[in-house]
Structure 1
Amino acid sequence: MNQPSPPTGRTTAAARSPLSAVGALVALAVSAFAYVTTENLPIGLLQVIAEDLRVSLPAVGLLVTGYGVTVAIVSVPLTHWTRRIPRRHLISGLLAVFVLATVVSVSTSSYTVLLAARVITALSQAVFWSVAGITAAGLFRPEVRGRVISVLFAGSSLGIVAGVPAGTWLGQQSGWRAAFLALSALGALTFVAVIVLLPTEPPGQGHAATGTTPDARRYWIVVVTTGLIILGQFTCHTYITTFLTDVSGFSAAAISPLLLLSGLTGIAGTAGFGFLVDRAPRTAMVIPVALLTVTLLGLYAAGAARLPAAALMALSGFSMGALVTALQSRTLQVAPGRSEIAAAGTSASFNVGISGGALIGGVLLPHTEPRAIPLAGAAIAACALVVLLCEPLVARRPAGPGAREVPDQAGAALS
């Protein structure tokens, strides 16, 4: 991440400096932190919000599930509609929407208004995730793309590890509105940073605007693999607290440290795989998908013992952190058209997996013991691994000019 590639089109003077490129990347990472924390914070403040607004706990839960469903539905169409807006203007506009919608959400005593404000925030997040990775990658040389993406997604990982716990504590001490107001202030700061540091260039310019080795069939393998592995993971992970207490025998007080452990190893996975995705992009996808499959099988087979369960939680966090880095980088490699549309497709698939996994786990749990939930997740995850491992069969039938794969010797060794 030593030197940004020369910007094309109109740029701000500041954006020509390597220091400004690093600053813009940090601003995007902080924006990711703010979005992820905002999306998940109602989970930690469920009871506080319910009591304040005099609504049920499931109604507050809808603030999270409705958010994810909105992102899944609108990612592709909204990204398509905004594709001609220069990134500096688009991302600053998205952050302005984030700030205003969050302020509205803390200024109301109406659950309906709060839900509407959350949906508007989700609309801005849907586009943000579609363009943030491409924008960050375009600031630097293609050779360091994986490391750039890992910095961006470290922000989202920190949202889970630090943002949600800190926001939960603040909300419990000073009311849930104080927590969301703090996130709004953070969004305002990143808005200013994006305005100052991010270059203004015509959309569709730069090396990250299109895939480096575009291939429609490989791209759809990435989309299907993403949906399946996240579906399997969240079939179990949505109800992991029930599993850890009822099956592994942990106390309720031990859940937070276990989730923190998983989050910390997730940051390690995000950072560590930044180097691998620059050298062996396909391998960087295969490894975390395989590890998540093994983790789910391990929870079923050995999760009744505390030490193996804790170790598997750590491995799960590491694998998820590695997966999000590898997924974004692989999408930028094989995107068959505009990169932001391709990224919107994988983002939608990711969120469908989250919502679908929660639904499958919720349907299964009343009819089976909690120990069986990871097994169901493992079966789905195994399907994702099979799809991904079949990719070389697709590669032997070139899709046309430009569909040539960059050699991945480590990936070839796995095949």
Structure 2
Amino acid sequence: MAINFADKSVMGLAAEPLMRDLGLTADQFGLAGSIFFLLFGVAGIIVGFLGNRIASTRLLLAMAIAWSVSMGPLLLFPAFTTLLLSRLMLGAAEGPTSPVAGHAIHKWFPESRRSVPTSLIFVGASFGVAISAPLLTFLIQNHGWKSAFWALTIVGAAWATAWLLIGREGPYTTYAAASDLSPGATPAPEEERLPYRKLFRASGWWGPLLALAPGYFAFALFSVWGPSYLGTVLGYSHQSVGLLIGFYGLVAGAAQIGFSWLSGRLIRYEVSTRWARGAYTGVLVAVSGILLIASMAAHRSSASAWLMLVAFGLANSMYTIGYLLVSEVSPVRQRSAMLSSFNSAMTAGAVVAPFITGLLVQQATNPTEGYRTAFLLAGALLLVGGLTSAWLTNPVRDARRLGLRSDDAPAPTPKPATDPS
């Protein structure tokens, strides 16, 4: 996931030299950012359904190899068309990564112990950005933008080699085996397939989508245009921009761990997942929207940059809880497809976010106002989506209606404070 998100972010970090060398306008660069997501969701759904039948470890290996191969067209024949082709291929290869990784992780832990392990997947993404942004910026400044793309190609291939040797499947292969949220309840003894129309009606699937889809819209906007905004509008140097993007990654990573840990503790202390996952996610996403709107109110001041970075980091720290909500309402044999369809729907807005921002910047009389309009739009979507999600998401009711749990028995007795888990 660290490599995955570094691949996503590198184009934004290389924006100025890439646009200059390839002769790109702002709307062309925005189109290149958006095309990454054109097949992102489609590939996610296709591979997600394959993940119901094929081992997660094999799928992750194939995807990582494809990441490295996708860099080839741009590196060998740098032009606008090969940039589009390269980003299109990379998006298709990376689209299924998060849900397949989540499905794989959930095979290793029971339901009540999944919060922190799942958060570590996305911490990889956040800390990957935090670590790679300064390093890739250094390579771009001192050795040109191609050096950063070559570095990611090599690292992706190295990871695939290591994964071939160590990747394994976990033991929790049915919903009943991993279900320990309500020990007095009776999970279905047989792993039955349910109609997807019933599964997709569960608020544990579409509820977090209302909050996290705006979050990913904001991420796509920021990953492509954030570095340019910090440099051209707020006046930070290239080196400072790399460090600021690294700070954003640290915020997102720390929030992933902290908020996931707190959610897990609330659940083990008898707080329903209706509140400890559903309302919890929506409220925190709404707070990120408020912070982003506030950052635009403090426009062009130093507070603007810090508020914006915290807002984007917080908005992208709740994917863990979203995945846990979807898993809670999914039979294991259908979980890969449920997670992948959720991820594809969640990331759909990323197809248009960079392009819309590019158009706003290109057509505004003052580019600064174009950036400001785009960020305010993202903030409003986060606020409205988060509050609506907090109000409507109820996975406990969903699991009972689907027959995955038969009653609302009490949650597990809290573990002693000395419990190492």
Same fold (TM over 0.5): yes
* Greater shift in the superposed pair: 90-99 or 360-369: 360-369
C-alpha separation in 2, matches of 1:361 and 1:113: 22
- Seen in structure 2, the aligned counterparts of structure 1 residues 341 and 51 have a Cα distance that, compared at 3 Å, is same
Specify the code of the residue in structure 2 equivalent to 1:115. L
From 81, 89, 94, give the equivalent of 1:112.
81
**Quick one: higher RCO (CA 8 Å, sep 6+), 1 or 2?**
2
Any idea what SS the aligned residue of 1:402 has?
coil
Moved more, 53-62 or 332-341: 53-62
Map 1:209-228; keep pairs closer than 5 Å. Answer: 216-228=202-214
SS of 1:69's partner is coil
In the alignment, structure 1 residue 137 sits paired with structure 2 residue 133: no
**Percentage of identical aligned residues:** 18
1:299 to 1:154, Cα distance in 2 relative to 1, 3 A: same
SS at match of 2:173: coil
Separation of aligned partners in 2, 1:50 and 1:363: 15
Number of paired residues?
374
Taking a change above 3 Å as real, the CA distance of residues 195 and 405 of structure 1, as seen in their structure-2 partners, is farther
Check whether the contact 2:30–2:224 (CA below 8 A) recurs between aligned residues.
no
Q: Which of 60, 64, 70 pairs up with 1:91?
A: 60
Shift of 1:195: 1.4
Structure 1 match to 2:95: 126
Distance in 2 between the 1:171 and 1:314 partners? 22
- Paired with 1:308 and 1:65, the residues of 2 have a C-alpha distance of 29
Are residues 389 and 282 of structure 1, via their aligned partners in 2, closer, same or farther at CA, if it must alter by over 3 Å? closer
Q: Which moved more, 1:358-367 or 1:191-200?
A: 358-367
Cα distance in structure 1, aligned partners of 2:18 and 2:168 = 40
Question: What letter matches 1:252 in structure 2?
Answer: Y
Contact 1:79 1:340 in 2 (8 A): yes
Bigger shift: 287-296 or 250-259? 250-259
**Unmatched 5+ stretches in structure 2:** 182-186, 188-198, 268-275, 413-421
CA distance in 1, matches of 2:18, 2:393: 50
Which of 136, 144, 147 does residue 178 from structure 1 map onto? 147
Residue in structure 2 matched with residue 28 of structure 1 by the alignment: none
Counterpart for residue 37 of structure 1: 6
Which residues of structure 1 form unaligned runs of 5+? 1-31, 410-415
Residue 169 and residue 405 in structure 1: after superposition, are their counterparts in 2 closer, same or farther (change >3 A)? farther
Q: CA separation of 1:208/1:88 partners in 2, compared to 1, >3 Å: closer, same or farther?
A: farther
How big is the shift at 1:324? 2.2
Q: Deviations over 1:167-224 (max 9, x none)?
A: 232133223332222212211221122211122579x935599998977233111223
Residue number in structure 1 paired with 2:117: 148
Partner amino acid, structure 2, of 1:128: T
Report the Cα distance in structure 1 between the residues aligned to 2:258 and 2:318, rounded to whole angstroms.
Answer: 11
Question: What CA RMSD, in Å, does the superposition of the two structures yield over aligned residues?
Answer: 3.8
- Deviation per CA, 1:50-83: give whole Å up to 9, x if none: 4545555654544322112321343213422454
**Distance in 2 (alpha carbons) for counterparts of 1:53 and 1:305:** 30
Instruction: Provide the residue aligned with 1:399 in structure 2.
Output: 401
Work out the CA distance in 1 between the residues paired with 2:229 and 2:106: 39
Q: Which residue of 37, 43, 46 maps to 1:68? A: 37
Q: Assess if the C-alpha contact under 8 Å between 1:96 and 1:191 holds in 2.
A: yes
Asked whether the 8 Å contact 1:137–1:208 carries over to 2, the reply is no
Q: Once the two structures are superposed, what CA deviation does each residue of 1:340-381 show, in whole Å capped at 9, x if it has no partner?
A: 222222322332233344455556663894655554434322
Judged with a 3 Å threshold, the aligned counterparts in structure 2 of structure 1 residues 300 and 200 are, in CA distance, closer, same or farther, namely: closer
Tell me which residue corresponds to 1:379.
380
Give the letter for the 1:328 counterpart: Y
Instruction: Give the direction of change, closer, same or farther, for the CA distance of 1:407–1:232 in structure 2 (3 Å limit).
Output: farther
Deviation at 1:38, TM superposition (A): 1.3
Alignment partner of 2:173 out of 196, 205, 218: 205
| Aligned residue among 251, 258, 261 for 2:235 | 251
Distance 1:393 1:133, change over 3 A: closer
- Residue in 1 aligned with 2:419? none
Look up the SS of the partner of 2:404 in the other structure. coil
Q: How has the CA–CA distance of structure 1 residues 265 and 58 changed in structure 2, closer, same or farther, with 3 Å as cutoff?
A: same
Indicate how the Cα distance of structure 1 residues 134 and 81 shifts in structure 2: closer, same or farther if over 3 A, else same.
closer
The equivalent of 2:342 in structure 1 is 346
Relative to the length of structure 1, the TM-score reads 0.75
Q: Residue 321 of structure 2 aligns with which residue?
A: 326
Q: Is the 8 A contact 2:107 2:170 kept in 1?
A: no
Change (3 A) 1:188 1:209: farther
Deviates more, 1:134-143 or 1:211-220: 211-220
Check whether the contact 2:214–2:382 (CA below 8 A) recurs between aligned residues: yes
